[in-house]
Structure 1
Amino acid sequence: MELLHFLFGIFGNAAALFLFLSPVVTFQRIIRSRSTEDFSGVPYNMTLLNCLLSAWYGLPFVSPDNILVSTINGAGAAIEAVYVVVFLVFASKPSIRAHTAALLAAVAVISLALLDDRPRKLFCGFAAAAFSICMYASPLSIVRLVIETKSVEYMPFLLSLFVFLCGTSWFIFGLLGHDPFLSVPNGCGSALGAMQQLLLYTIYRKSRASKQGANGT
C-alpha cells in the first residue's frame, strides 16, 4: 500500500507539472500579441495561491508523509508567479489589470497571514483544501464565454485535460494516505475537470468543427 501511495504521488507530481506548464502556449500567444485578449487571469492567481498553501501543508512539520505535495507545489508556485506577472504586464483592459493586481495582493496577504511560526495541520489543511477547490473551479470563469460564443478558443484543452488528470492523481493519493485534505478537494477537481470542462470542450469543439465544415474551411 505504501508503494502504491508513493507511485500515485509521483504520478500526481508529473500530472501537476504538466498542468502548470500547459498554459505556456497561451502565454506565448499573449506575449506575441502583447494582449491578454479574452483570457481570464483568475485560474493563474488561484493556482498560485493553492500552490503556496499546499506546499506549506506538505512540509514534514505540518503534515508528515506528504513531502511530494510540497515539492511539486513549490515548483508550481514559481511557475504560476511568472504567469501572473506576464498577465499583469500585458492585461488588455485597465479593469483586467486592476482585477489581476487585486488578486495578486490577496495572494500575498493570505500567504503571509497563514505562514505563521506555529502552523497546525488542521488549520493549514482546511485553508489548502478550500483554495484547492477554488483553483479547480477557477477555469469555470470562462465557461459563460464558451457557451455564448460557442467557441473553446479561450478555454485551452491542455489546461482542462491536466486539471482532470492532476485532480484524479491526487484524489487517489489522498485516499491511499487517508488524508481528506487531499482527497476531498482533488476529488472535486477531478469531477469538475471531467464533467464541466472536458465535456464542454467536446461539445463546442464539435460545434465549431461543424461550422467550419459548413463554411467550406
Structure 2
Amino acid sequence: MWCLYGMPSVHPDSLLVITINGIGLVIESFYVGVFFLYSNTWPKRKRVIKTQSVKYLPFYLSLANLANGMVWSTYALVKFDAYILIPNGLGVFSGMVQLGLYAYYYKTTNWDEDEGAQQSDLELHDGHNKA
C-alpha cells in the first residue's frame, strides 16, 4: 500500500516514500518467506504474557520496529503528512509496548529451559503415576 501511496500520480513529490518502500517490500518479502520456511513458530506465538517469558519475543525485531516507526513519524511530521504519521505512530506505540513487555518479563524468563524436554518429563511422570 505504501508503494501505491508513493506513486507520483497518487501523491506528488514523494520519491523517498516510493523508493524506500519499494526496496523494503522486496527485502521484507524475502525475509518473511525465509522465516516461514525455516521456523516452527506456530506453537510458540503469543506466549509472552501467558508464560511470563520473553524467550520467544525477538528483542532486536521489536527495537527495529520502534526505530522504523520513529524515523517515519519524524519524516511525516516534517512533511506534515497524516497518512504516513498515523500508521507509523501506531508502529511507535507497538514497539514501545513490545519493549515494555520485554523489560517487564525479562527477569522471569528461564532461558535454559527446553520446552520439548519439559513436555517429555511431564509425559514420563504422568505415565509413571498411572502404572
Confirm whether residue 55 of structure 1 aligns to residue 55 of structure 2: no
Confirm whether residue 78 of structure 1 aligns to residue 30 of structure 2: no
Return 5+ residue gaps in structure 2 as ranges: 112-131
Q: Larger relative contact order (C-alpha < 8 A, sep ≥ 6)?
A: 1
Confirm whether residue 89 of structure 1 aligns to residue 3 of structure 2: no
1:165 corresponds, among 67, 73, 77, to: 67
Q: Normalized per residue, which structure has more helix? A: 1
Specify the code of the residue in structure 2 equivalent to 1:200.
L
Equivalent residue, structure 2, for 1:188? 90
- Structure showing greater Rg: 2
Return 5+ residue gaps in structure 1 as ranges: 1-52, 97-141, 213-217
Distance 1:62 1:193 in 2: 29
Confirm whether residue 206 of structure 1 aligns to residue 79 of structure 2: no
Could you state the TM-score of these two structures normalised by the residue count of structure 2?
Answer: 0.71
Distance 2:10 2:56 in 1: 38
Equivalent residue, structure 2, for 1:178? 80
Identity %: 41
Specify the code of the residue in structure 2 equivalent to 1:61.
S
Could you state the TM-score of these two structures normalised by the residue count of structure 1?
Answer: 0.45
> Pairwise CA RMSD of aligned residues?
2.1
| Alignment of structure 1 residues 97-176 onto 2, 5 Å | 142=45, 144-176=46-78
